[in-house]
Amino acid sequence: IANFYFLIIFLVQVSPDTPTSPITSGLPLFFVITVTAIKQGYEDWLRHKADNEVNGAPVFVVRSGSLVQTRSKNIRVGDIVRVAKDETFPADLVLLSSDRAEGTCHITTASLDGETNLKTHYAVPETAVSQSVSRLESLQAVVECQQPEADLYRFVGRITVTQQGEEIVRPLGSENLLLRGARLKNTKEIFGVAVYTGMESKMALNYKCKSQKRSAVEKSMNTFLIIYLGILLFEAILSTILKYAWQAENKWDEPFYNQKTDQERNSSQILKFISDFLAFLVLYNFIIPISLYVTVELQKFLGSFFIGWDLDLYHEESDQKAQVNTSDLNEELGQVEYVFTDKTGTLTENEMQFRECSINGIKYQEINGKLVPEGMTEDSPDGSEELFLKAVSLCHTVQISYDQTDGPGDPFSHANGFSPQMEYYASSPDEKALVERYLMTFCLSLGEKVLFTKGAESAVLPYTTSGEIDKTRVHVDEFALKGLRTLVVACRHFSADEYQEVDRRLHEARTALQQREERLVEVFNFIEKDLELLGATGVEDKLQDKVQETIESLRLAGIKVWVLTGDKHETAVSVSLSCGHFHRTMNILELVQQKSDRECAEQLRRLARRYNTLAHPFCEISSPRVSKDHVIQHGLVVDGASLSLALREHEKLFMEVCKNCSAVLCCRMAPLQKAKVVRLLKTSPEKPITLAIGDGANDVSMIQEAHVGIGIMGKEGRQAVRNSDYAIARFKFLAKLLLVHGHFYYIRIATLVQYFFYKNVCFITPQFLYQFFCLFSQQTLYDSVYLTLYNICFTSLPILVYSLFEQLVHPHVLQSKPALYRDISKNSLLSFKTFLYWTFLGFCHAFVFFFGSYILMGEDTTLMGNGQVSVSPASLPSSLLFSYSRSCVSVAGLLLC
């Protein structure tokens, strides 16, 4: 918008009768656009280069009975593609075969969803045997699948294989699909048929432009520009009116030195008025600083390097330094009012260690690598205990990776899972911790059909009908109170007839092309019922270093911390207490397990009344409004289901309770719910500045939704880091990032913006005042060189250096006294009051510059009443205007710089 404004001014200046040269606006505009074009052109060239690397990557396809090398962009639907170990898939492929006899392969999807665990994918038995190019060439099959869609985890299709004149139909699901961008691991090679290519692949369909985030400073700057545009229009209109008022006297209408032509005398008065207005507009247009945008961009770009260079934000163990992905939000780090943080991997290490378990109602603890029961029990395990251990050992997605070793050795060591080079990969750290503990404990064999299931107690316990349900539930709550992550294990035995029925119904549901998900859910509900409860596990996830100190610093800085986690209620509360998010003396309010809108609304009203009663015990409560209290601190716990009800019809009441609690904990949260909570606060009437921090792919939505998104370089891939504005290695670095860097960035850019408007007022107001002394003839006070270079060189470089290195308070003081962060909150340095102060100061100094220079000339120059200039050669070396304009610029430049 600003560039468009200066383009209009430049076009006006091109007209013949304007007071200043077009170069005065054209050159700065050309400079600004050139710098922007070079920057964006370079970034576009990098994207083009990266595109060529992907599109031109060599791939092998099966053509005419042999492998032919081609480029990735040449793959078409129906091509059979060969992918080797550690290569990425160039298109969405249905797995046909691998070098493994069973037709399986392992992949990692870190580039898609941020998960670094290995995932197993399968080929149908009829194609798994086609492990050579010749057999693939003779393969006769038809693949039918749904139209391309963006869902990474959903794929519906089927393959019809023709063998010896017989057609065999097999279902295809997400476990058969290899997504473009994923990487092949632990498998020598695979063959797959391309089903989605190019922009129809799931990865391409998930491309979306990142929403443009604008800082509060930028919004204030735009508001100031509009105000200054109003000042510009006012000065131009006033000068035009005064010109015609002055020319109402005949002696000033046509002075001897400016006689009008016949064309000027006969021209339209309206056109003359418009022409004069545009001329004054051009004369005063430099009150709006075109170089402000360039200087701000340079300050943000160069200033962002200080974050990466800060050794206090460097994590030596992982060799990771802080990373800036968006320099446009540097100053926003100094304005944060709410921090929304994930728990696992962000507040905790995401390194799980097995601690306790409950088997058949008996609690066990791990002591020195052994399971020690609580109380007296039999030495030999009974059937339930053995089933529990079998379930934990079998019901998982863990894959074992090991380096091949040459030379003699035990030929069965790898097969049995015993290898010194062995490494476990799992879909969740919980499973990895359990399998490492149990996998090598028993030689497993099952002679019957048994279903094992493992999951959260809220998902498993409702379907259990036998076992020590009550005791296990008590143990699960005890584990959660200790801050342990819990999983419940159950099983179901099938007879031969039941198993045949289950297998038939599953096959029908899986081969259906219409409503496959609904039919599968129906079958799974039929299978997962009448479960026998076997036990529960408790796994510890340790807190990261200095988490408690960091949260306390944020609280002292006036920042409210909300923890958003998918963990169960008891676990989340326990971790909140241990990390200092909740205090032991804090009054905890709960909004959990709400079943209906009415029940939820009544609970919210009770919470509001309870809050007011505690805060003001001698006051009668007449409304459910929650009052802010500075003596008794309150914390709120809400779960995902209750949150959905609260936000449906009682959003205002819910926000009233939340805003007056010093800490809020949301548990059992889905990824989209996290983003919804952030949006709720972000769009509230107060419009607070929000920050979201997380480490996993499930945190991406809230990171993108918040004003500032920070990714933790954790163990759940780089999806959060890639989608964030800033990335740090540990949660503890957040304190310095906000309290020090945020504080510095905000003060620097606030001063920069205010100074730019101030100096332009000082520069242009004398031009306005000068019109009173030249009969509003639109004469310029400054030479064109000064008009061009004043903003670009004379006054922009000193403030740029200041805005890069100024430290109003020592960093150690800012960290030791977090309350100083409150002094710059609510965009205080760019408030309207402060803006008026700087503007008033600019006008005052402009009057001093103008009339001070006028008085300094004294009796040496005289502007005669008839407009003639009286010059004494002995006292003046040049004309009045030249001497006067140079003196004004000299005084102004000296005071400003």
Residue type, 584: R
Lowest mean pLDDT among 78-82, 148-152, 204-208: 204-208
pLDDT at 812 over 50: yes
Give the model's pLDDT for residue 515: 79
Annotated binding site for Mg(2+): which residue ranges? Answer: 342, 344, 695, 699
Can you spell out the DSSP letters for 404-436?
---SS--TTTTTTT--TT-EEE-SSHHHHHHHH
Pair 650, 540: CB distance under 8 Å = no
Crossing angle of helices 216-246 and 269-284, in 10° steps, is 130
CATH number of this structure's domain 323-347+546-611+632-728: 3.40.50.1000
Pair 226, 288: CB distance under 8 Å = no
- Structure tokens belonging to residue 892: 């102004």
Give the model's pLDDT for residue 376: 58
Pair 695, 342: CB distance under 8 Å = yes
pLDDT at 244 over 80: yes
Nearest C-alpha neighbor of 602 from the set 654, 668, 644, 638: 654
pTM (two decimals): 0.70
Give the model's pLDDT for residue 762: 92
Band of residue 211 on the pLDDT scale cut at 50, 70, 90: low
Give the model's pLDDT for residue 255: 64
Cα torsion for 167, 168, 169, 170, to the nearest 10°? -150
What's the average model confidence in pLDDT over 844-852? 92
Distance separating alpha carbons of residues 455 and 486, to the nearest angstrom: 8
Longest dimension (CA), the chain: 122
Pair 691, 336: CB distance under 8 Å = yes
The yes-or-no answer on residue 342 being catalytic is yes
Distance separating alpha carbons of residues 388 and 207, to the nearest angstrom: 44
Helix/strand/coil for 336: coil
pLDDT at 621 over 50: no
pLDDT at 505 over 70: yes
Give the model's pLDDT for residue 821: 94
Band of residue 1 on the pLDDT scale cut at 50, 70, 90: low
Residue type, 26: G
Nearest C-alpha neighbor of 302 from the set 710, 827, 805, 791: 805
Give the model's pLDDT for residue 275: 81
Cα torsion for 820, 823, 824, 828, to the nearest 10°? 180
CATH class of 352-374+384-402+421-542: alpha beta
Pair 536, 457: CB distance under 8 Å = yes
pLDDT at 52 over 70: yes
Distance separating alpha carbons of residues 760 and 763, to the nearest angstrom: 5
Q: Phi and psi at residue 877, in whole multiples of 5°?
A: -85, -10
Give the model's pLDDT for residue 209: 53
pLDDT at 444 over 50: no
**Which residue of the set 276, 328, 342, 639 is catalytic?**
342
Give the model's pLDDT for residue 477: 85
pLDDT at 884 over 50: no
| Strand 587-591 relative to strand 370-373, pairing | unpaired
Annotated binding site for ATP: which residue ranges? Answer: 342-344, 431, 454, 485, 565-567, 668, 674, 698-699
Band of residue 882 on the pLDDT scale cut at 50, 70, 90: very low
Annotated binding site: which residue ranges? Answer: 342-344, 431, 454, 485, 565-567, 668, 674, 695, 698-699
What's the average model confidence in pLDDT over 418-447? 56
Give the model's pLDDT for residue 593: 81
pLDDT at 897 over 70: no
What's the average model confidence in pLDDT over 122-129? 90
pLDDT at 381 over 70: no
- Structure tokens belonging to residue 838: 């700087």
Element (H, E) at 465: strand 464-466
The total of other beta-carbon atoms located within 10 Å of residue 372's CB is 11
Domain boundaries, the chain: 1-41+213-302+741-857, 57-206, 323-347+546-611+632-728, 352-374+384-402+421-542
Q: Which residue has the tokens 């053995």?
A: 386
At the topology level of CATH, where does 57-206 sit? 2.70.150
Element (H, E) at 843: helix 832-857
Distance separating alpha carbons of residues 72 and 52, to the nearest angstrom: 10
pLDDT at 886 over 70: no
- Structure tokens belonging to residue 504: 């038939």
Helix/strand/coil for 181: coil
Q: Phi and psi at residue 406, in whole multiples of 5°?
A: -95, 165
What's the average model confidence in pLDDT over 697-723? 79
Pair 569, 382: CB distance under 8 Å = no
Distance separating alpha carbons of residues 765 and 774, to the nearest angstrom: 15
Mean pLDDT of the chain: 80
Give the model's pLDDT for residue 117: 65
Pair 725, 329: CB distance under 8 Å = yes
State percent of the chain over pLDDT 90: 23
Band of residue 4 on the pLDDT scale cut at 50, 70, 90: confident
Band of residue 530 on the pLDDT scale cut at 50, 70, 90: confident
Band of residue 413 on the pLDDT scale cut at 50, 70, 90: very low
Distance separating alpha carbons of residues 615 and 611, to the nearest angstrom: 6
Which one of 372-376, 569-573, 665-669, 756-760 scores highest in mean pLDDT? 756-760
Distance separating alpha carbons of residues 727 and 571, to the nearest angstrom: 27
Q: How far, CA to CA in Å, does 316 sit from each of 320, 321, 322, 412, 493?
A: 7, 8, 12, 40, 51
pLDDT at 406 over 50: no
DSSP β-bridge partners for residue 672: none
pLDDT at 410 over 50: no
Q: Phi and psi at residue 473, in whole multiples of 5°?
A: -60, -40
Pair 194, 81: CB distance under 8 Å = yes
Polymer length in residues for the chain = 897
Band of residue 407 on the pLDDT scale cut at 50, 70, 90: very low
Lowest mean pLDDT among 1-15, 427-441, 739-753, 861-875: 861-875
What's the average model confidence in pLDDT over 656-666? 86
Pair 364, 356: CB distance under 8 Å = yes
